Amino acid sequence: MGVVKQKKAFSPARIGLAAILAIVVLSGLTAGSALAFVHDQTYPAPHAPVSAEALAPGVVVITVKTADGLTLKGLEIAPKPGMPTLLVFHGNGSSAMTTMRWLAPLVAEGYGLVAAEYREYSANPGRASEKGLAADADAFYAHARALAGSGRLIVVAHSLGGGVAFGLARRQTLECLITIDTFTRFLDMVPAYGRPFVSDRYDNEAAIAGLDEPLYIIHGTADDVVPFAQGQELARAAQQAHKTGAFFTITGAGHGPDGDTLAMIIRAIVAKLESHGGTVKVTLPRNVTVMPFAA
| pLDDT tens per residue across all 295 residues of the chain | 344 444 444 443 344 445 555 555 445 556 677 778 788 888 999 999 999 999 999 999 999 999 999 999 999 999 999 999 999 999 999 999 999 999 999 999 999 999 999 999 999 999 999 999 999 999 999 999 999 999 999 999 999 999 999 999 999 999 999 999 999 999 998 877 677 778 899 999 999 999 999 999 999 999 999 999 999 999 999 999 999 999 999 999 999 999 999 999 999 999 999 998 788 888 899 999 999 997 5
Residues 243 and 193: beta-carbon distance below 8 Å: no
Looking at residue 197, its pLDDT comes to 78
Residues 116 and 87: beta-carbon distance below 8 Å: yes
CATH of residue 253? 3.40.50.1820
H helices of the chain, in order, are 12-15, 17-27, 31-42, 96-102, 104-108, 130-148, 160-171, 204-208, 228-240, 259-274
- Is the alpha carbon torsion for 274, 256, 81, 168 positive or negative? positive
CA–centroid distance for 21 within its chain: 29
Burial of residue 188 (CB within 10 Å: 0-12, 13-18, 19+) is middle
CA distance 226 to 220: 9
CA distance 76 to 116: 8
Q: Is residue 166 part of a domain?
A: yes
Looking at residue 29, its pLDDT comes to 55
Domain of residue 286: give its range: 12-292
Instruction: Please count the structural domains in the chain.
Output: 1
Residues 176 and 214: beta-carbon distance below 8 Å: yes
Looking at residue 121, its pLDDT comes to 98
Looking at residue 183, its pLDDT comes to 97
Q: Is residue 256 part of a domain?
A: yes
How far are the Cα atoms of 33, 103, 184, 202, 269 from residue 160, in angstroms, in the given order?
23, 18, 10, 8, 22
Task: Look at residue 258 and give its three-state secondary structure.
Answer: strand
Angle at 217 between CA 216 and CA 219, to 5 degrees: 150
Q: Is residue 232 part of a domain?
A: yes
Q: Is residue 6 part of a domain?
A: no
This prediction's pTM: 0.91
Residues 107 and 56: beta-carbon distance below 8 Å: yes
CA distance 9 to 202: 14
Q: Is residue 92 part of a domain?
A: yes
Q: Is residue 35 part of a domain?
A: yes
Looking at residue 28, its pLDDT comes to 52
Q: Is residue 25 part of a domain?
A: yes
Q: Is residue 32 part of a domain?
A: yes
